């Protein structure tokens, strides 16, 4: 039971940081999924009336191209299994509901109705068997003796790629996944980290480095990879003491992963607010972590706007309408 909870916690922590980091790099995601060079006129993370209530709605990118628009849906998973297939199917239904709610609201305001939506999904698999995974997967809702009905999605088994293949993806965002590569070693990792630092702003580099550190333990062929990443970067002069992740992982080792994880959430909250937390605010967040758990706090940090987060941090702030953040 404890092992299962630990695995769920690790999955949630990785999902949280990938949701955070990927929001800086929408074009990297769209280019991987579209798989062609058609010019993109506009790209943005979708916003719907359900976005504040259904956490997974924020996993979609609205892409405007010459041929029309589509929504690209992204899921991150440790393993490709029936649960993730069902989640993709669930997302399509949630997004259809959100689209209908938005259409009704526009109808009431007398605005033009939105066009029907097109949804394409991709599941980025972070670990699993060495046997090559298929390029596409599906979740069937129809009977096996009937024509297929359900959802079909693309599979990106990033852990089955080589370092060279990941570098060829053409974005610094994907370099954060190099620790998962089949042929990663210390020399290649050092080269990628140098390239990453040269191509990014300090804050973006810290986010991507944090992602690499959290992903590293998934590579069981290279034990100790987390420490290698830290050793390759700890000698660098920290740009912002607040964002230095080496102390976070040292505390995680000394005092337990839970405390280190909570510090990471504090760090993420400060990044969203673009300021340091006061002593009373940190104490308040700690109480909510104890009472509600990291899932509740992590969702608030990612789902609320900066202004809503400031209110949420207030003594009588709210997580969402009608729900108190005690």
pLDDT tens column, 240-283: 333 344 444 444 444 444 555 676 778 778 878 888 888 888 88
pLDDT per residue over 76-117, tens digit each?
999 999 999 999 998 888 887 777 777 888 888 888 877 777
Q: Are 253 and 104 members of one domain?
A: no
Same domain, 283 and 156: no
pTM metric for this prediction:
0.69
CB 99 within 8 A of CB 48: yes
pLDDT at site 69: 78
* Residue 286 and residue 143 share a domain: no
Whether the pLDDT of residue 27 is over 80: the answer is yes
Burial class (CB in 10 A: 0-12, 13-18, 19+), 1: exposed
Q: Is residue 143 part of a domain?
A: yes
Does a structural domain hold residue 205? no
Q: Which residues does 53 contact at the CB level (< 8 Å), separation at least 6?
A: 320
Q: Are 136 and 21 found together in one domain?
A: yes
Task: Report helix angle 202-215 to 186-199, nearest 10.
Answer: 150
Domain that holds residue 276: 238-326
Q: Per-residue pLDDT tens for 185-197?
A: 999 999 999 999 9
Residue 185 lies in a domain: no
Q: What is the pLDDT of residues 192-220, one digit of tens each?
A: 999 999 999 988 898 899 899 889 999 99
Number of folded domains in the chain?
A: 2
160, 192, 214 - which closes a domain: 160
Q: Which of 258, 229, 256 is nearest to 245 (CA)?
A: 229
Q: Specify the higher pLDDT residue, 239 or 125.
A: 125
27: in domain? yes
User: Do 153 and 269 have their domain in common?
Assistant: no
Q: Output the pLDDT for position 113.
A: 79
Helix 279-292, helix 294-303: angle, nearest 10:
120
Q: Compute the distance between CA of residue 254 and CA of residue 282 in angstroms, rounded to an integer.
A: 21
- In the listed set 114, 142, 160, which residue is the last one of a domain according to the structure? 160
Structural domain ending residue among the three candidates 160, 181, 197: 160
141 shares a domain with 55: yes
Runs of H (alpha helix) within 143-278 = 163-167, 172-175, 186-199, 202-215, 225-233, 245-255, 257-273
| 151 and 38 in a common domain | yes
147 and 244 share a domain? Answer: no
Residue 204 lies in a domain: no
Longest dimension (CA), the chain: 63
> Which band of pLDDT confidence, cut at 50, 70 and 90, is reported for residue 136?
very high
Query: Are 1 and 107 in the same domain?
Result: yes
What pLDDT is recorded for position 183?
96
In a domain, 208, yes or no: no
């Amino acid at each position: 039971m404890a092992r299962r909870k630990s695995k769920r916690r690790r999955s949630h922590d990785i999902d949280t940081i990938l949701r955070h980091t990927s929001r800086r790099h929408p074009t990297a995601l769209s280019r991987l999924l579209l798989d062609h060079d058609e010019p993109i006129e506009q790209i943005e993370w979708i916003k719907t009336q359900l976005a504040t209530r259904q956490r997974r709605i924020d996993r979609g990118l609205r892409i405007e191209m010459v041929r029309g628009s589509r929504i690209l849906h992204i899921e991150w998973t440790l393993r490709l299994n029936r649960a993730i297939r069902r989640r993709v199917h669930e997302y399509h239904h949630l997004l259809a509901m959100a689209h209908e709610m938005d259409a009704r609201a526009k109808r009431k305001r007398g605005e033009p109705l939105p066009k029907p939506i097109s949804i394409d999904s991709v599941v980025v698999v972070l670990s699993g068997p060495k046997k090559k995974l298929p390029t596409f997967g599906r979740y069937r809702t129809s009977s096996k003796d009937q024509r297929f009905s359900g959802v079909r999605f693309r599979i990106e088994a990033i852990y089955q790629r080589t370092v060279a293949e990941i570098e060829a993806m053409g974005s610094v965002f994907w370099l954060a996944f190099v620790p998962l590569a089949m042929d990663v070693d210390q020399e290649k990792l050092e080269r990628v980290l140098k390239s990453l630092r040269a191509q990014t702003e300090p804050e973006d580099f810290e986010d991507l480095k944090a992602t690499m550190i959290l992903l590293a333990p998934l590579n069981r062929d290279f034990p100790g990879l987390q420490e290698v990443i830290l050793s390759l970067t700890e000698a660098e002069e920290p740009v912002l003491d607040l964002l230095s992740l080496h102390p976070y992982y040292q505390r995680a080792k000394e005092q337990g992963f839970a405390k280190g994880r909570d510090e990471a959430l504090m760090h993420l909250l400060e990044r969203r607010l673009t300021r340091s937390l006061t002593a009373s605010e940190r104490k308040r967040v700690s109480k909510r972590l104890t009472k509600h758990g990291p899932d509740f706090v992590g969702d608030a940090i990612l789902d609320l706007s900066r202004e809503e987060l400031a209110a949420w941090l207030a003594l009588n702030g709210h997580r969402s309408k009608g729900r108190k953040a005690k």
